[in-house]
A and B are shown apart, each in its own frame.
Chain A
Amino acid sequence: MDEPDDQTMFSRIKNTVARRLKETDPQALVTTTEFFNHTHVPDLVVTWPRRPSTPSRHIYLRTTSNQQELDDDLHRLPSENNPVLLTLGHLEAAERLTEPSGNKLLLDTAAVDSLRPAAGAPDIPQLVSRSVLEGGRGTLDGSTTTGLLITVADGADAARTGTPGPTQRAVQTASDHLNQQVAGRLSSFLAALWQGSGNTLANFPGPQRTTEGLDVTALMYLLETEEISDAAFWNRIVGMLNLAALLQVPSTAAANLQHLMREAISQWTARACMVVPGSRGPEAGPWKWVLHDGDLVLQTPRFHAVVGTSRKALNPAERYDLPSLEEIRARAERFGIPLTQLRMSVTDRHIGYGGAGDDISHDQKLDQLSGAINEAKLVIETDARVSSGAVLNCTFGNRTASAHGSRTQVPLDALVGTTIRLQTKLTDEEGSTVEALLGAQGSPPEASWSQPRLDEG
């Protein structure tokens, strides 16, 4: 505050605070105003653009640390916008006679510094810091903030081992310092850790959820917190939710999402998949599962595969050149994918070739038919049987695959794996990586199974 010019001084202080807040939660958008230490207008506003339902917070800076003046200021602040009064001085939380009412939060710069995450991978304290920024209430100074972070982190460790004491303290501390919604979310997260580690929900030392399932907010916390590489843990978590719940989580490519999907791909199902050139979203990395704008995506270096509830829901576009019959037969041969029918384009005519549901891709008759036609034979669509026995209709003009039958669901590993293997020409390395991620193609059941084609989206 020793910068002579007031406007420069105001800006420097607010920019410093804005930086601290942004470090605490990189997903937050921090807006500065022209005002400083003003009774009516906040100095900064924090919003969460990727989570529009999250209420904004108005941050009011205060040059005074006088308890009576701060109490008066808090009393004047409207409860809407969950105001935060941040004194640039020093608070002694233990000496305060009154607590801010409702969702108002009073803290000092030492508390803001305590909320800054340590360098390195995401961890529980970082999760708690973001929760404080979003829903903190009451009074926090440096030591109470540090205490809050440690208590909840210890509680998370205890939840994973089914130890009730520290878990219960973490739940209570969250309730003391966070608004009801955010405290509930943190409690659900601790309960998820408790259950995911094999303990029963009935024994969880906190508010009981009404169902055994995992809510979206707890899932969000699970995905964003420090990496948990325990496969058995994620296997239990998969059993507590479904793909529809996962798709409600804001965009992420977190390490824990990869662990979750490793267990989920053989258990969860969907109906359609589409292969699109290039990357999807700024967080995408090579060979990673990504949640982006409500879609589940497998990102590869060259393309990405999007999972959908139907072909129509994927919003496909007819913009790709059709592959040759030879190319499709080669891809099917390479991965052992049985094709039960083909429809080809020859100049301006269409030719269909199919059977009773068995694999026609090696038929001699098909060889003869192909040899008899001199013009290019381009494949419009083909039906492929997958390891679950379901049939996928693959259309190459829009590079999509969709399950036959209006109610047929296909396990994600088979759906995405088959789509990628048929819709793109994979290099050897890509083929190996797809197998490592999604498993081998696998053979369908011996008995051929066919279903009359119905119009589906």
Chain B
Amino acid sequence: MVAVGEDAQLKGFSGARRAKQWLEGTMRIFGAYANTDSESCGRRLTLPWPYGGRTFSFDLGGSMRGEPYQHDTFCAEVKNYTQPSDQGTHFDEFLAKCYVAVAANHHHSDHFMWITWSPFRATTWSTLSTPDQVTKSVLAHSDRVLGTADEAKARELLNEETVNAVAQRLWLLVLSDKQETLVPLKDWAAIVAAELVRRGESW
């Protein structure tokens, strides 16, 4: 089987595509698509900021397979970085986006995945998916999320339940080029695919 990481990296494929293929290799994904695949895909993964008149998009979205995630939806931000760089800043914005998605009951809000090729905020890594971090991140974008730049007012407007929901739904996935090659072998994938096809519904 073609090694995803090696060829994909060499061919310059997007992080979203590489992340999709890695997720599919777990066989826990029914389907996934990138926001750049088509206008329709882009629309599915785009939401408006509540204030300011602009929109934002998630990089990847899809549907999960197998309990306890059967038919759960997910959306993901994918950072094809080799260095930590400014991931922290982007991560804060991502958490603000997740807050907006949960508040809007968006159809892809069951799980939020941050998928990166480079760890970041190493000293506070264990706290990145806590309600406290979500709170900090939303406050950093309170003008777009809550309609005020005043921290005190923003804290009053912040919904604790929504904050907790975001924290519970967060996944932090760190991939590597080598890890991308640790996917099912071609023969195994073919056997599983054949069995799944066999169980399909006929027209």
Binding site for B on A (CB under 8 A): 1-2, 4-7, 9-10, 18-19, 22, 29-42, 44-45, 58, 62-66, 68-69, 72, 75-76, 78, 80, 88-89
List 12 A–B pairs whose Cβ atoms lie within 8 Å, in order of A's numbering.
A1-B38, A1-B44, A10-B30, A22-B203, A31-B197, A31-B201, A32-B203, A34-B30, A38-B24, A38-B30, A42-B193, A88-B38
Among B24, B63, B203: residue with most chain A CB under 10 A: B203
Roughly how many angstroms separate A449 CA and B188 CA in the complex, as a whole number? Answer: 71
Q: Which of B34, B61, B108, B200 contacts A34 (CB 8 A)?
A: B200
**Contact mask B152-172 → A, CB, 8 Å, 1/0?**
000000000000000000000
In the complex, what residues of B have CB within 8 A of residue A6's CB?
30-31, 61-63, 73, 107-108
Roughly how many angstroms separate A41 CA and B193 CA in the complex, as a whole number? Answer: 5
In the complex, what residues of A have CB within 8 A of residue B44's CB?
1-2, 9
Interface size class for chain B? 35 or more
Residues of chain B in range 84-114 having any CB-CB distance to chain A below 8 Å: 107-108
Roughly how many angstroms separate A36 CA and B44 CA in the complex, as a whole number? Answer: 15
In the complex, what residues of B have CB within 8 A of residue A19's CB?
203
In the complex, what residues of B have CB within 8 A of residue A33's CB?
196-197, 199-200
In the complex, what residues of A have CB within 8 A of residue B136's CB?
none
Residues of chain B in range 144-186 having any CB-CB distance to chain A below 8 Å: 184, 186
Cβ–Cβ contact B17 & A75, under 8 A: no
Roughly how many angstroms separate A10 CA and B63 CA in the complex, as a whole number? Answer: 10
Q: Does B133 contact A (CB under 8 A)?
A: no
Roughly how many angstroms separate A243 CA and B202 CA in the complex, as a whole number? Answer: 34
In the complex, what residues of B have CB within 8 A of residue A45's CB?
197, 200
Cβ–Cβ contact A30 & B31, under 8 A: no
**Contact mask B1-40 → A, CB, 8 Å, 1/0?**
1100001100101000100110011000111111011101
Cβ–Cβ contact B31 & A36, under 8 A: yes
Cβ–Cβ contact B2 & A76, under 8 A: yes
Give the Cβ gap from B55 to chain A, nearest Cβ, in Å. 16
**CB within 8 Å for A41 and B196 given contacts A1-B41, A30-B203, A75-B2:** yes
Roughly how many angstroms separate A78 CA and B193 CA in the complex, as a whole number? Answer: 11
Q: Which of B43, B61, B186, B202 contacts A78 (CB 8 A)?
A: B186
Roughly how many angstroms separate A45 CA and B202 CA in the complex, as a whole number? Answer: 9
Q: Does B71 contact A (CB under 8 A)?
A: yes
